[in-house]
Amino acid sequence: MSTVPDEWLDRDAGPVVRPYALTGGRTRPRGESFDLLAVVGAAIDVRSIDRMFLEPEHAQVLRLCRRPMPVADLASDLDLPLGVVRILLSDMRERGLITIGKPARTGLTDQRILKDVADALRRL
Amino acid sequence: MPSAGFDQDSNEVTPVSIKILVAGGFGAGKTTMVSSVSEIRPLRTEEVLSEPSILVDDLDGIEQKSTTTVAMDFGRITVRDDLVVYLFGTPGQHRFWFMWDELALGALGAVVMADTRRLADSFPSVDYFERSGLPFIVAVNCFEGAKRFRPEAVRLALDLNPGVPVVLCDARQRTSCRDVLVTLVEYAIHLLSGADALSAP
């Protein structure tokens, strides 16, 4: 394997590295880990807090999660890499700004739901 | 039906979300399939940089695709208001394997895309899903200019268990991709009913 000592910091890496500034350089989320389809919901109304106490990204998450949505959708809407979003969310959970539920897994063991899925897909 | 999601939001229905993985070698048609059959959404991951020394893909025999990215293939099929199918395209290269365990957790199953010109590229995916016990099927993407093989020949070449469905598909065709997903869901139902029969008193 050829050595590429500094190549990961070339211009291609720019947008990849910068988002970690949002996390204070941390690359690991705090607390209990959560699934990509775990549902994130705002625990407070973003309009009720003084913006001075919120990072812009936190405010954005709160706005997006007024209707609970899965982590993966949220990362897509925020246009931030998943790892960064995980850290943001774990921080926000720690501050009580959001709740992170478990993904709804009922479908996996319920034949009725699976048959529903198959039928619905067939109609697509 | 058991309630899912937030208890405190009991008046708002949290959709049941079904996760399906689309795996396979580089250039086997994962991106094409996800975009044919679902509403694709941009999703990036960045941890690829943890192994910066292997950022070059092997492009032998694949002339169309010249770059690989850290973007994940991510698509959503809103089946009904209360039922959403999520597709995650997982890169087949070893450097992305850290993602697989997490993605496979709670997934309904996986579609392994196979390109008959580079069948060996699907070995790692097949191997992974065999070991993890996640239901999977093999979808042979019928590329233009590639020799057609019968599904049975592909099954033999991949040394698949007899029950694993092998289907031919055209990743560019929405209906073809939809049929692949239906096959996977039906296979999962089949496995589930088998498990029920075994656990019945």
pLDDT values of chain B reduced to their tens digit, one per residue, 201 residues: 343 333 344 445 667 889 999 998 888 899 999 999 999 888 887 654 444 434 444 544 443 333 233 678 899 999 888 889 999 987 666 666 667 888 888 899 999 999 988 889 899 899 999 998 999 999 999 877 667 788 999 999 999 999 999 999 999 999 999 999 999 999 999 998 886 655 544
A68 touches chain B (CB under 8 A): yes
B70 touches chain A (CB under 8 A): yes
**Inter-chain CB proximity A76 and B6 less than 8 Å:** no
CA atoms within 13 A on the CB side of A75: 27
Higher pLDDT, B144 or A106: B144
Kindly list the residues from chain A whose CB atom is less than 8 angstroms away from the CB atom of residue B70: 16, 81
Rounded CA separation B49/B45 (Å) = 10
**Inter-chain CB proximity A114 and B1 less than 8 Å:** no
Kindly list the residues from chain B whose CB atom is less than 8 angstroms away from the CB atom of residue A113: 16, 83
**Inter-chain CB proximity A82 and B46 less than 8 Å:** yes
Q: What is the pLDDT of residue B196?
A: 60
Q: What is the pLDDT of residue B12?
A: 55
Which residues, other chains included, contact B33 with Cβ-Cβ below 8 Å and sequence gap of 6+?
B22, B89, B111, B113, B139, B141, B169, B171, B177, B180
Rounded CA separation A26/B15 (Å) = 32
Token couple for B200: 């019945």
| Residues A15-32 pLDDT 10s | 445 566 777 777 677 777
Q: Find the residue in B nearest to A119 (Cα).
A: B182
Rounded CA separation B111/A37 (Å) = 19
Q: What is the pLDDT of residue B87?
A: 95
Rounded CA separation B52/B74 (Å) = 23
Domain ranges of chain A: 12-123
Nearest-CA distance A118 → chain B (Å): 5
The pTM of the full predicted model, rounded to 2 decimals, is 0.80
Q: Find the residue in B nearest to A68 (Cα).
A: B14
Taken in order of first residue, the domains within chain B and their CATH numbers are 16-44+68-199 (3.40.50.300)
Q: What is the pLDDT of residue B83?
A: 87
Nearest-CA distance A57 → chain B (Å): 17
Kindly list the residues from chain B whose CB atom is less than 8 angstroms away from the CB atom of residue A67: 12
| Residues A25-81 pLDDT 10s | 776 777 777 888 999 999 999 888 887 788 889 999 999 999 999 999 999 999 888
Give the long-range contacts of residues A54-62, CB within 8 A, separation 24 or more.
A55/A22, A57/A22, A57/A88, A58/A88, A58/A91, A58/A92, A58/A97, A61/A88, A61/A89, A61/A92, A61/A97, A61/A98, A62/A97, A62/A98
